[in-house]
């Protein structure tokens, strides 16, 4: 057992705060709109911190721990290719702005508004099934992480029976997430995720400082420089033999980022919870800070883990960890257990409790959000469209809660039965593409192209689903198949886009009323700020700085977008220089050393900034829920 009494006390205190936050929201969840979309009262910082934490999760942390243990600093150089894409997406409010203008509560509701009710049902069912498959491994990954990190026994005795720790811990962790979601719906999810996100940001910064102080840079450098030729951990131009996370992995990642915007519905409650479309756009702009600076932990920790396992100075301590890894059945399980086992071996009392609390927060935040998303999608997009007589609010809320419980039970069973065979990143890319592979075309085409048709949406969705399912089957059966999950996803996207465009152009031509869909002009909703980019008058407005922007909004946006712009220029200059000059790995090592401390300093500033803004938004949320009017017809049905 790696946890001391003080560590358990820290974890218990964190859970107490979260329970208080969830209980305090129960009285506000009196309407379907409150349960589904927090009555659309979310501010930018609250949504940014909470949704960022919801997307993090233990499974995402393990995903990045696996990747960065394998490739070190190199993905952060090639990840700079996302800079221009982030700027374009942020300024334009790519997809999220127009989606919020539709006032849809789920993506499939938008599909009914734009295409047809039958397509809504089909898309909703596809999203639900793909989501359940994807979500199905989350409890298992989380439970194994905590068993390894905390040094928990394989089984314990309960009422005279020997109960396995793995299923017991999964049940306990899922129960906490389920209770939060059951009580307060999206309101409870958003409030508790914000509290968890704030805690995790602080703990991760403290943990990074501890790791950098515990593992001298000289020892880290020795291990980083000992990597095989053409599989460098510091030189991004020496990846010729890296099979999984090579240059093309990151290029495809940029394509997927554009295409899949809003496509994956694991956090769909946040997509419709903003006060208005402009607030949703600003949440997207500032939310990119989490990826840029607040995720430094997923790089520093696996690099220190690699140093612990491979540097001769730690050989004695590492032997016990290596023995535990060798006892596991598959490489996939060993990859997942590596980081938590080392954490349990190196973290001191107190910090161990903080780290465990932060990881538990990451687990709960993802699970309560995903439970809410997939449970509500089943009701809203598969069951509700078949209902001729509307549910009463009480019936509707009861059915939503039952559906969420069903999701929890399903993923528990799935996690018990599923055997991991590949990197988490590849599995998630494949399962997500079952829906996103085709849905991305229907979303982008539906929001931006008035000539996109219903048959085209059907064709794209079926194409994406078929290719992705074939990819999953092939990867499970044939371990030597040459394409990675990322590459299969890319070709699925290409096929779906091609089919959508061809069917729209070659089939019956139709012109859709986009103003009505987006509540513009004569269809505008009183009290909501929306701007048509076709009405832009100045060059700044054409760039995305619409008339909705206040002076503060402009300053925040300038700072936020200046960051990727600067790093993009550094990336371009560095890439050209490295193509001309053979830069030694030592120079790259020095660059990454300075870069690490600089990003850490920035993460502290961003944590303070987002915490202050989030508390302000949280106050606004509670005040609005107390005084705002409730619309019983605002329940996700499409009424003409």
Q: What is the pLDDT of residue 355?
A: 92
Q: What is the pLDDT of residue 542?
A: 56
The closest alpha carbon to 34, from 628, 561, 640, 464, belongs to 628
Contacts of 446 (CB under 8 A, 6+ apart): 110, 111, 114, 115, 452, 457
| Cα 155 to Cα 165: distance, rounded to the nearest angstrom | 5
| DSSP secondary structure string for all residues of 135-174 | HTTHHHHHHHHHHHHHT--SEEEETTEEEEHHHHHHHHHH
* Residues of the chain below pLDDT 50: 533
Which two tokens mark 479? 């371990």
Contacts of 513 (CB under 8 A, 6+ apart): none
Which two tokens mark 322? 């290596």
Place of tokens 């059966």: 477
Q: What is the pLDDT of residue 611?
A: 92
Phi, psi at residue 129, to the nearest 5°? -65, -45
Which two tokens mark 62? 């393990």
3-state secondary structure of 163: strand
| DSSP secondary structure string for all residues of 173-239 | HHHHHHHHHHHHHHHHHHHHHHHHHHHHHHHHHHHHHHHHHHS-HHHHHHHHHTSPTT--SS-TT--
| Cα 400 to Cα 386: distance, rounded to the nearest angstrom | 15
For helices 165-214 and 297-310, give the axis angle rounded to 10 degrees.
90
Phi, psi at residue 240, to the nearest 5°? -60, -30
| Cα 377 to Cα 128: distance, rounded to the nearest angstrom | 7
Which tens digits make up the pLDDT trace of 517-554?
Answer: 988 888 887 766 555 545 556 656 655 666 778 888 88
Residue 94 DSSP code = T
Which tens digits make up the pLDDT trace of 263-312?
Answer: 777 788 888 888 888 888 888 888 878 766 667 888 999 999 999 999 99
Task: Say how many C-beta atoms besides its own lie within 10 A of residue 520's C-beta.
Answer: 18
3-state secondary structure of 419: coil
Task: Say how many C-beta atoms besides its own lie within 10 A of residue 518's C-beta.
Answer: 21
Q: What are residue 157's DSSP bridge partners?
A: 162
The mean predicted confidence, pLDDT, of the chain is: 85
| Cα 147 to Cα 615: distance, rounded to the nearest angstrom | 34
Residue 311 DSSP code = S
Kind plus residue range of the DSSP H or E element containing 158 = strand 155-158
Task: Say how many C-beta atoms besides its own lie within 10 A of residue 171's C-beta.
Answer: 14
Q: What are residue 526's DSSP bridge partners?
A: none
Q: What is the pLDDT of residue 63?
A: 78
């Amino acid at each position: 057992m790696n946890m001391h009494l003080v560590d358990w006390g820290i974890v218990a205190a964190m859970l107490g705060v979260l329970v208080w936050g969830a209980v305090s929201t129960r009285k506000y969840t009196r309407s379907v709109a409150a349960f589904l979309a927090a009555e659309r009262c979310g501010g930018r910082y609250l949504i940014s911190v909470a949704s960022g934490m919801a997307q993090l999760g233990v499974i995402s942390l393990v995903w990045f721990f696996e990747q960065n243990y394998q490739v070190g600093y190199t993905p952060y150089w090639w990840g700079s290719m996302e800079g221009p894409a982030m700027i374009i997406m942020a300024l334009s409010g790519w997809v999220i702005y127009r989606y919020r203008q539709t006032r849809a509560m789920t993506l499939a509701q938008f599909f009914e508004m734009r295409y047809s009710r039958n397509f809504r049902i089909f898309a909703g069912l596809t999203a639900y099934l793909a989501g359940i498959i994807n979500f199905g491994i989350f409890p298992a990954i989380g439970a194994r992480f905590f068993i390894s990190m905390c040094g928990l026994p394989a089984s314990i005795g309960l009422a005279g029976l020997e109960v396995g720790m793995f299923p017991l811990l999964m049940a306990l962790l899922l129960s906490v997430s389920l209770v939060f979601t059951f009580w307060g719906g999206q309101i409870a999810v958003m409030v508790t995720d914000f509290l968890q996100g704030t805690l995790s940001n602080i703990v991760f910064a403290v943990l990074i400082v501890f790791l950098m102080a515990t593992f001298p840079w000289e020892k880290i450098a020795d291990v980083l420089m000992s990597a095989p030729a053409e599989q460098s951990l510091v030189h991004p131009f020496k990846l010729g033999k890296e099979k999984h996370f090579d240059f093309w992995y990151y290029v495809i990642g940029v394509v997927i980022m554009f295409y899949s915007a809003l496509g994956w519905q694991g956090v769909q409650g946040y997509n419709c919870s903003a006060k208005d479309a402009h607030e949703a756009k600003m949440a997207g702009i500032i939310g990119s800070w989490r990826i840029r600076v607040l995720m430094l932990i997923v790089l520093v920790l696996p690099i220190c883990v690699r140093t612990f396992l491979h540097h001769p100075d730690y050989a004695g301590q590492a032997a016990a960890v290596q023995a535990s890894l060798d006892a596991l059945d598959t490489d996939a399980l060993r990859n997942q257990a590596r980081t938590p086992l080392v954490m349990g071996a190196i973290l001191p009392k107190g910090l161990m409790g903080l780290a465990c609390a932060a990881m538990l927060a990451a687990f709960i935040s993802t699970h309560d959000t995903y439970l809410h998303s997939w449970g509500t999608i089943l009701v809203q997009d598969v069951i509700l469209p078949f209902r001729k007589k509307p549910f009463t609010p009480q019936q509707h809320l009861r059915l939503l809660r039952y559906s969420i419980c069903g999701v929890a039970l399903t993923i528990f069973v799935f996690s018990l039965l599923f055997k991991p065979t590949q990197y988490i990143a590849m599995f998630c890319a494949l399962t997500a593409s079952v829906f996103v592979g085709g849905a991305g075309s229907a979303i982008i085409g539906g929001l931006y192209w008035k000539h996109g048709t219903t048959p085209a949406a059907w064709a794209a969705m079926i194409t994406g689903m078929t290719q992705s399912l074939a990819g999953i089957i092939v990867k499970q059966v044939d371990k030597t198949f040459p394409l990675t999950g990322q590459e299969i996803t890319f070709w699925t996207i290409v096929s779906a886009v091609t089919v959508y465009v061809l069917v729209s152009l070659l089939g019956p031509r139709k012109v859709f009323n986009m103003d009505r869909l987006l509540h513009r002009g004569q269809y505008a909703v009183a009290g909501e700020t929306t701007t048509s980019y076709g009405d832009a008058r100045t060059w700044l407005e054409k760039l995305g700085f619409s008339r909705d922007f206040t002076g503060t909004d402009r300053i925040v946006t300038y700072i936020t977008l200046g960051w990727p712009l600067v790093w993009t220029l550094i990336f371009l200059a560095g890439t050209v220089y490295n193509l001309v000059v053979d830069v030694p790995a030592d120079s790259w090592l020095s660059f990454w050393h300075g870069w690490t401390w600089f990003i850490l300093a920035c993460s502290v500033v961003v944590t303070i900034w987002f915490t202050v803004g989030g508390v302000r938004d949280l106050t606004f949320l509670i005040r609005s829920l107390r005084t705002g009017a409730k619309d019983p017809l605002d329940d996700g049905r499409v009424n003409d």
